[in-house]
Chain A
């Protein structure tokens, strides 16, 4: 069964600190992996998209890594800001016509002053 797991479920850090969120998946065949940020009460917004051949992708203070062999991805946030408080969702896309997004449950990040 295609599944995406994320850890930790929730995380609290102080402003200015770094953090890393984890994503493990069992999706096959793999097409690409995405990280989304979802602010409370809003829809998810794309942060990064990585294909099978990409190991790292950055978007400002967000850096995503992908190890397709171990089926693991991480999202590293540098110098966190209060506005980083949100849920971060790992989404894995597999090659299946139409219905091919598998969403993780998300990690809830809280950045405190």
Chain B
């Protein structure tokens, strides 16, 4: 039982490049989330999903897209990376909107 797994753990991108972050959970959770964490700030919600095939915008969705084609996977895409997207990205999942959320280990992304 691995919980929530994020790949990759580290990535450096050049401005304008694209990439996809993968989040996988093996707990059969309905809800999945993508957050970004910046120094001195709380985690901010980028996008979330309440079930397979559904996605919704969070607090800071601009510049990101997501997909939830399979219940266990939640993908975060950056179509044209910008230096402002340099951050640590966390994926999380929960059974419902108010039960405990389990987090992945994070992806440190640097855009130069």
Which residues of B30-56 are within 8 A (CB) of A? 31, 33, 35, 40-45, 48, 50, 56
Does A113 sit within 8 A of B, measured CB to CB?
A: no
Q: Which residues of A contact B97 (CB under 8 A)?
A: 93, 97-98, 100
Q: Is the CB of B101 within 8 A of A45?
A: no
Q: Is the CB of A31 within 8 A of B103?
A: no
Q: How many residues of A contact B (CB 8 A)?
A: 24
Q: Is the CB of B48 within 8 A of A99?
A: yes
Q: Is the CB of B42 within 8 A of A104?
A: yes
Interface string of B98-112 (1 = CB under 8 A from A): 101111111000000
Tell me which of A89, A98, A103 has the highest count of chain B C-beta atoms within 10 A of its own C-beta. A98
Q: Is the CB of B42 within 8 A of A43?
A: no
Interface string of A72-113 (1 = CB under 8 A from B): 000000000000000001000101011111111110000000
Does B74 sit within 8 A of A, measured CB to CB?
A: no
Bound: A97/B31 CA distance, A: 11
What residue of chain A has the Cβ atom nearest to residue B56's Cβ? A98
| Given A42-B105, A43-B103, 17 further pairs, Cβ under 8 A | A32-B98, A34-B100, A41-B105, A43-B105, A44-B43, A44-B103, A46-B100, A46-B102, A89-B42, A97-B97, A98-B56, A99-B59, A101-B33, A101-B101, A103-B42, A105-B41, A105-B42
Shortest 7 CB-CB distances between A and B: which pairs?
A43-B103, A103-B42, A103-B43, A105-B42, A44-B103, A46-B100, A43-B105
